[in-house]
Amino acid sequence: MSESKIAERNIPGMNRHNRFVEVEHAENVGDTLKRVLTYFAREKMLVIAMLLIVVFGTLCGVYAPSLQSEAIDIIAGTSDGSLRHTLAFMLAAYLCYSGSQLFQGLISARLSQRIVRRMRGELFDKIIDLPVKYLDTHSHGDVMSRITNDIENISTTVSQSLPSLISGVLTVMGTIVIMLWYCWQLALLSFLTVGLTVCATKVLSKKVRKFSRRRQKLLGELNGTALEMISGYRTVVAYNHQDITIDDFCATSDAMTKAGIRTDIFGGVMGPIMNCIGNIGFVIIAAFGGYFAINGRISVGVISAFIVYARQFSRPINEIAQIYGQLQTAIAGAERVFDVLDEEDEDKTGELLEEQESAAVTFRNVKFSYKEGCPVLHDFSLTVPSGKKVALVGATGSGKTTVVNLLMRFYDIDGGDIFINAQNIKDVARDSLRKNAAIVLQDTVLFSDTIENNLKYGNEKASREALEAAVDMSRCKEMIQMLPQGYDTVLTGSGNNISQGQRQLLAIARAFVADPKILILDEATSNVDTRTEKAIQDAMQLVMKNRTSIIIAHRLSTIRDADIIVVMDKGRIVESGSHDSLLARRGKYYELYMTQYAGFAT
């Protein structure tokens, strides 16, 4: 590898693509490092094997130039010995060094993957057991980043940076000892160039970091502009904003070009500067080494060894500087992973829900707020009789979905009680509670699996007859028959190969297959056409017969036949009754109904 390539590779804060990488810093390095080491402790044999190979390889790499020095002195006639044996030992030392590098890479890769597999498994298991509140209050992209990018940073550091760090430290220490042993005066002169190398690296990498940050920021803006233009192209053209969009794009592109040029300039001069400093070091070694050789202090072979050792000494120092940044990023990533692992699991303790034919739901003086000081429900009281259908209506933000979240114990109430029959759900294990309820959300969620497995998600033991009955009732039988493999058709991208309406039909069928005591429909027909909606409503009448059902709807036409319609406003019940009785009152429900009847959005 040329000196310029080595120098470019060893710029602190730059990756192998010669691009700046932002270095993250952990808030508590000590505790995080201790926890990371516990994962290494579980792989003692691999760690010991890797350390032994690193030490052995480093010794071979440090010892080989000494054999080269001896061989040159034998050739020059200033030393006695067998040239053949010396060359054989030197060849063996270099082969052992190369072999140790190979085995070091294999063992470190195996070690990193085993550590990362355990860490990734623990993290995924933790995420599965986290309360819904955690995922609602944290960015999904951030959670994904922890299980992908942060874990990958740890893997890369363990497999590449950690062995290089150990090897680099041992190489520097061994080289210093041998150089001082050969000639301490020449060693000190050689160290001067190392100081110049470190200073030049520090100054130039600071410049590279500065302009790389700006380039990365502008790159994000450029991508955002391009994405907005492409996704909103019809709007851009409709309002004749092509010229303005082009000007904005070109302005950002020009700024990014300038930042990129400066980054490449400072990054590009690193190689020549390192070569120049290295050549100065060689000149110093040759000049003073020749002087010392003439005076009989050292031999010509020692001068040759010093040239190799000078190069061997400066390279690990730059590598250590680079690895330090990678270690900081890895430790910061590990800290982010441990932050999730330290979160409290969802409490799944409690008793089983009593097996009864009836399933009456009662909310008694329930108080709840997602954020302290901002209540969503105020002394909410409601009774859903067993086997009856209750519809919740109201403006957006009135608390309808919150009622469902509390019933499913996605969140725990701040005050009051919720009962199923005479059993308080706070005493019921969440698994048992949710096993007796099925929910169809407005945002349909299907999984990348076969249609059959998606339908059996809430009831794995369901028979094919039960599946077909549910499919027939939810009016998606014809749709499944038209698919290439029918029930065995794999939904790709969580169902992106079918329409949104078809996904919602399957979600409704999935709820039917679960055969729950309590059925919850949260805007379940919002993404289907009017004709399909009518067919689903007819089917739902059969499914919800003698089943406790809670329906959340904005389209009031879908809940006209509900046993009880509850009108909510700002977390309180303002009206309740049948469709006809509420219209006769000419209150809030009447206003909502007439607004929709007139064709305006609610």
Whether 127 and 269 share a structural domain: no
Q: In the prediction, which pLDDT does 498 show?
A: 78
Whether 163 and 189 share a structural domain: no
Q: In the prediction, which pLDDT does 330 show?
A: 79
Whether 31 and 119 share a structural domain: yes
Tokens at residue 57, please? 């390889």
355 in any annotated domain: no
| Domain end among 311, 329, 346 | 346
Q: In whole angstroms, give the CA distance from residue 59 to residue 590.
A: 88
The strand pairing partners of 384, in sequence order, are 361
467 in any annotated domain: no
Calculate helix-pair angle for 162-182, 44-76, nearest 10 degrees: 30
pLDDT tens profile 454-487 = 888 888 888 888 888 888 877 788 888 888 888 8
**Residue 215 burial (10 A CB sphere; 0-12, 13-18, 19+):** buried
Whether 110 and 252 share a structural domain: no
Q: How far is CA 88 from CA 60, 70, 84, 96, 322, in A?
A: 13, 12, 6, 12, 35
Q: In whole angstroms, give the CA distance from residue 230 to residue 225.
A: 9
CATH number at residue 69: 1.20.1560.10
Q: In the prediction, which pLDDT does 451 show?
A: 87
Whether 199 and 293 share a structural domain: yes
Tokens at residue 287, please? 């000049």
Asked if 310 contacts 282 with a C-beta cutoff of 8 angstroms, the reply is: yes
Whether 158 and 31 share a structural domain: yes
Q: In the prediction, which pLDDT does 525 show?
A: 66
pLDDT tens profile 346-382 = 888 889 988 887 889 999 999 999 888 888 998 899 9
Q: In whole angstroms, give the CA distance from residue 117 to residue 151.
A: 9
| Domain end among 231, 265, 297 | 297
88 in any annotated domain: yes
Whether 274 and 188 share a structural domain: yes
Whether 46 and 168 share a structural domain: yes
138 in any annotated domain: yes
583 in any annotated domain: no
447 in any annotated domain: no
Could you tell me the pTM of the whole model? 0.70
Please state the domain count of the chain. 2
| Domain end among 346, 364, 386 | 346
Q: In the prediction, which pLDDT does 528 show?
A: 63
Whether 199 and 334 share a structural domain: no
Residue ranges in 427-529 assigned as alpha helix (H): 430-435, 451-455, 464-473, 477-482, 500-514
**Residue 348 burial (10 A CB sphere; 0-12, 13-18, 19+):** exposed
Whether 37 and 169 share a structural domain: yes
Whether 38 and 146 share a structural domain: yes
Whether 92 and 127 share a structural domain: yes
What residues in the chain have per-residue pLDDT under 50?
1-22, 599-602
315 in any annotated domain: no
61 in any annotated domain: yes
Sign of CA dihedral 95, 17, 210, 257: positive
Q: Which domain holds residue 212?
A: 184-297
